[in-house]
Structure 1
Amino acid sequence: MDFSTLQQLTQLPGVSGRESAVRRFISQQVAPYADDVKTDALGNLIVLKKGTSDKNLLLAAHMDEVGLMIHYIGPDGFLRFVPVGGIDPRTLLAQRVTVHTSGGEALLGVIGTRPAHVTTEAERGKAVPIGDLFIDVGLTGAEAAARIQPGDFATLRRPYEEFGSGRLTAKALDNRSGVFVLLELLKALKNPFYNVYAVFTVQEEVGLRGAGTAAYGIEAHLALAIDTTGAADIPGSAPQNYITALGAGVGVTAIDARTITHEGLFNALKRLCLAKNIRYQVRVAPRGGNDAGAIHQSKTGVPCCALSIPTRYIHSNTEVQCKSDLEQTLALALAVAQEELVI
Structure 2
Amino acid sequence: MDLKLDFSILKTLTELPGIAGRENAVRQYLKNLLSAYADDMRTDVTGNLIVYKKGSSDKNLLFCAHMDEVGLMVHHVDERGFLRFVTVGGIDPRTLLAQRVRVQTREGELPGVIGTKPAHITTEADRGKAVGVKELFIDIGLSGEEAKKRVEAGDWAVLDRSCEELGDGLVCAKALDNRAGVFVLAEIVRALKNPFYNVYAVFTVQEEVGLRGAATAAFGVDADVSLCLDTTGAADIPGCAPQDYITVLGGGAGITALDARTITNPVLFEKLKQICDKNGIRRQVRVAPRGGNDAGAVHLSKTGIPTCGLSIPTRNIHSNVEIVSKADVADVFRLAYAAAQEGLGDITL
Q: TM-score, normalised by structure 1?
A: 0.99
Q: Aligned equivalents of 1:136 and 1:146: distance in 2?
A: 15
1:26 aligns with 2:30: yes
Q: CA deviation at 1:114?
A: 0.2
Corresponding residue of 2:121: 118
Any gaps of 5 or more consecutive residues in structure 1? none
Indicate the SS of the match to 1:193.
coil
Any gaps of 5 or more consecutive residues in structure 2? none
Q: CA deviation at 1:120?
A: 1.7
Corresponding residue of 2:150: 147
The one-letter amino acid of 2:222's match is E
Corresponding residue of 2:19: 15
Q: CA deviation at 1:340?
A: 2.1
Q: Aligned equivalents of 1:121 and 1:159: distance in 2?
A: 36
1:89 aligns with 2:93: yes
Q: CA deviation at 1:339?
A: 1.4
- RMSD between aligned residues: 0.7
Corresponding residue of 1:49: 53
Q: CA deviation at 1:271?
A: 1.0
For these two proteins, the number of residue pairs brought into alignment is: 342
Q: CA deviation at 1:102?
A: 1.8
1:295 aligns with 2:309: no
1:261 aligns with 2:259: no
Q: Aligned equivalents of 2:129 and 2:187: distance in 1?
A: 44
Give CA-to-partner distance per residue, 1:35-68, whole Å, 9 cap, x none: 0000000100000000000100000000000000
Q: Aligned equivalents of 1:229 and 1:127: distance in 2?
A: 26
Q: Aligned equivalents of 1:153 and 1:305: distance in 2?
A: 32
Q: Aligned equivalents of 1:123 and 1:77: distance in 2?
A: 24
Indicate the SS of the match to 1:205.
helix
The one-letter amino acid of 1:274's match is D
The one-letter amino acid of 2:295's match is A
- Decide which of 65, 71, 76 is 1:67's aligned counterpart: 71
Q: Aligned equivalents of 1:165 and 1:121: distance in 2?
A: 43
Q: CA deviation at 1:127?
A: 1.9
The one-letter amino acid of 1:145's match is K
Equivalent residues in 2 for 1:312-327, closer than 5 Å: 312-327=315-330
Q: TM-score, normalised by structure 2?
A: 0.97
Corresponding residue of 1:203: 206
Indicate the SS of the match to 2:208.
coil
Corresponding residue of 1:273: 276
- Percent identical: 65
Q: Aligned equivalents of 1:120 and 1:332: distance in 2?
A: 54
Corresponding residue of 2:179: 176
Indicate the SS of the match to 1:181.
helix
The one-letter amino acid of 2:212's match is R
Give CA-to-partner distance per residue, 1:230-274, whole Å, 9 cap, x none: 000000001110000100001000000100001110011111111
Give CA-to-partner distance per residue, 1:88-117, whole Å, 9 cap, x none: 0000001010000022x1111100000001
Q: CA deviation at 1:125?
A: 3.9
Q: CA deviation at 1:136?
A: 0.3
Q: CA deviation at 1:163?
A: 1.3
The one-letter amino acid of 2:134's match is G
